[in-house]
Amino acid sequence: MATQDNFDENLSCCSIKENKTGESSDYAPACCSCRAVETKSPETAWEHFWAALSSIYVQLTFTAISGAALVASFFGLLESVLPFDPAWIAIVLSGTPLLWEAIVELARRHITAEVLVSTAILATIYTQDYFAGGEVAFIMMLGHLLENWTVRRARAGIEKLIQITPQTARKITENTESTVPASEVAVGDVLRVLPGEAIPVDGRILSGNTTIDQQLLTGEPLPVDKTVGEEVFAGTINRFGTFTMQATQVGGDSSLARMIRLVQEAEAKKAPMERIADRWAAILVPIAILTAIIVGLVTGELMRAVTILVVFCPCSLVLATPTAIVAAIGNAARYGILIRSGEVLEVLGKITTIAFDKTGTLTLGQPVLGTVRSLTDERSDDELLGLAASVEQHSEHPLSRCIVDAAREKQLTLSNEIEAEVLPGRGIQGLRKSDSRQILIGNEKLLAENGVTLTESAKSAAVENFHRGETVVWVAVDSAVCGFLSLADSVRSSAPETVRRLREERMDLLLLTGDNEQASKSVAEKVGLTSVDANLLPEDKQRLVAEQQKSGKRLAMIGDGINDAPALKTADIGIAMGKVGSDLAIEAADIVLIGDDISRVPFLVRLSKKTIRTILTNITLSMSINFAAVALAAAGIINPVVGALVHNAGSLLVIFNASLLLGVRWEKL
């Protein structure tokens, strides 16, 4: 079968040809249409025509017009204006697409709800009961419209990843430097990376010290200091310091390229929700047709057979799922929860395991000052903080900003007589002009380079901070350590309660993070999680999610960063933080928490379970009403019009039951 691209290509070629021959552009469309018919089979041309009609906007317009036409037919309006029953408008606009779908599915040897509906509509036309035919077509079109509206998804995440892929690299050859496309970098090439640039390929540092923001890949909230011999990854940002590196993974083998590929592969595994009506149609259609034939032959009354076909139409069955889903999605939206499709609610109700990312999910994703500890009697803790902030105000490093903000929040006075120099990968050093005292603020490497001995007593004072996974910044004055500051990612206040409520739902809970093990275990302990996997790259998270699924578990993943995208896509349900989360994470997710309120997750789980119960109730109601109406039709008690109204009443009952989901409140679940 020809594709739409081929179809459009033929149209374009036709237009070009006509322009070359000098014909006016007004003639080109007619020629294109002619050539489309000439170069394609009628079936292909019709398929493209019906594909255009399947647009949700076209369906919405047709449904509105059909509804108005049925109202006019029911009340006898427009009789003096139109030479035909207005119900014909509903039959044509809403019934014709159903008839085409039925023909296509029958050609593929598939029996769906459209087959039974089309048979009923044709039967009502034969008996000239146009209102009943239009009413059946309208209800089915409305069901399709609701269903299509709930399953539409945004698919732009891969493009966002591609946009952040570095395009160029600074290649060094024989003491010369040139800018080359990143795609031309080969394994073993030596590259230079300047401050503020994205690292073009995976590699290992040859010379220089720097600080890398690799939250893109690992989700770590704080930049990581790197030195000679350490690995750096494509797409991460060099914040401070110039360094040279040797390429180790290039092109499609780089970390960023692998992550793009993982998201694409995981996306391909997502299947649309199979319509419940279609699953039942394989049984209902033969039963309905056989019942109608038997009743018609036994009673000799064609109207009874037609009535059976009308009441057997699964309109309420078609509405059973989408109406409940629309109501649940609307309710969730009131609480800042965006649900991509109806399939999400169906799957979420069967989830057994929930995996959390750490940074930006269980934590706020921003460094905060933890401990300020002076180790001498010379100055207090606040004086130590003021001294450190006076030096750090000359740096734009995130940790420096955190220290300065904490000092200003305490309204401490910062000195302006200190000259400072930022030392990438180590810290910062300052010189106070008034007394020429040297101040060092940074890691152990900075202290060692300047001959400062870090005593065992000083290490012991900070041991608890190290165990909690906090970043410890040492402060030394004139070659003597005088104290330290610790910085950490703060835990969301709602996280412990969220974990507790999810345990009440008998969920298995995991923590999957790219951060270091100490910090991860500290956060897990604070929120009540016991299963922790740390130091994970995106492919590691995806692999662990896949392993859980292979063991028979249905898993939801909650994350916020680009590094979470493959795991979000692989998981049965992906939940992204909408406020702090990356664009890719949001696009990869099935559910987005607009306000980053993870306390809504337990509500979401319970709402999904209630939605499934509502759908099952709706199916039971619709089937019961249909079978009761069939019995009445077979007995000749109701005619096609009454039968249409009866099964329409069933549809209204299903809609009313589904609408009760709109009243479900977060506090009551």
- From 85, 357, 596, 597, active-site residue: 357
> Which of 533, 505, 524 has its CA nearest to residue 669?
505
CB atoms within 10 A of CB 453: 12
321 in Cβ contact with 546 (< 8 Å): no
The answer for residues whose C-beta is within 8 angstroms of residue 604's C-beta and 6 or more apart is: 332, 337, 348, 575, 591
> Which of 109, 112, 4 has its CA nearest to residue 49?
4
> Which of 515, 468, 494, 516 has its CA nearest to residue 371?
468
357 catalytically annotated: yes
> Which of 355, 352, 370 has its CA nearest to residue 513?
355
Rounded Cα gap, residues 568 and 357, in angstroms: 10
244 in Cβ contact with 172 (< 8 Å): yes
> Which of 217, 222, 580 has its CA nearest to residue 398?
222
Rounded Cα gap, residues 338 and 21, in angstroms: 53
CB atoms within 10 A of CB 164: 15
Rounded Cα gap, residues 247 and 370, in angstroms: 38
Q: For 259, phi and psi rounded to 5 degrees?
A: -70, -40
441 in Cβ contact with 427 (< 8 Å): yes
Tokens encoding 97: 């697409």
The CA-based angle 398-399-405, given to 5 degrees, is 90
The residues carrying an active-site annotation are 357
